[in-house]
Amino acid sequence: MSVRVQRNREILRTPAIPTIRSLVGVWLTLLVLLVASVTSAYVPLGIVNTLLGLAIAAVKVGLIASVFMHLRHADNTVRVAAAAALFFLWVMAFLSFGDFLTRVERGAQWQAPRAFQSAAKPMRNRLLRIFPVAADTARQRPVPCILRLRRQRH
């Protein structure tokens, strides 16, 4: 029975619930980090902006997870579950980034469907009535998209 009482006293002594002072301190720290991330976005530092933004975000995530999600005083199973979630998030981001890096950009010729080609002439006449500037190609003015596609084929 004495072991049980000692264990209950140890459980009660652990600061599982953060105090108001620590919560306000973390909140103020998060506000300072917010100001730092917004300020760094307006300072032209090149690649350092990205690295600084990622570092600030990692610190914010660590503070929120340890204090507001109570991971600091959680059981090992909860910590393992949180670590597994972060690991799978990293895997999905890594796979998406790998897919993005291996794609080859190839420009393909766009062809209008045949039904669209037959409907393009009356539409062109309507557009010329609305936008008389579109018929003027010598001045290089903006031309509606449908007319540009039509001119490329002829």
Does one domain contain both 53 and 85?
no
Q: Is 108 among the domain residues?
A: no
Using the 3D structure, point to which of 17, 51, 72 is the last residue of a domain: 72
Q: How far apart are CA 4 and CA 129, in angstroms?
A: 91
Number of Cβ atoms within 10 Å of the Cβ of 67? 18
Q: How far apart are CA 115 and CA 136, in angstroms?
A: 27
Residue 134's pLDDT is 45
Residue 103's pLDDT is 78
Q: How many domains does the chain have?
A: 3
Does one domain contain both 21 and 51?
yes
Q: Is 84 among the domain residues?
A: yes
| Alpha-carbon separation of residue 12 from 7, 100, 102, 149 (angstroms) | 9, 51, 54, 75
**Cβ 112 vs Cβ 86: under 8 Å:** no
Residue 97's pLDDT is 85
Instruction: List average pLDDT for each run of 10 residues in the chain, which is 154 residues long.
Output: 59 67 93 95 90 94 89 86 92 87 72 61 68 51 50 51
Does one domain contain both 95 and 122?
no
Q: Model-level pTM?
A: 0.52
The domain of 33 spans: 2-72
Residue 31's pLDDT is 97
Q: How far apart are CA 122 and CA 128, in angstroms?
A: 10
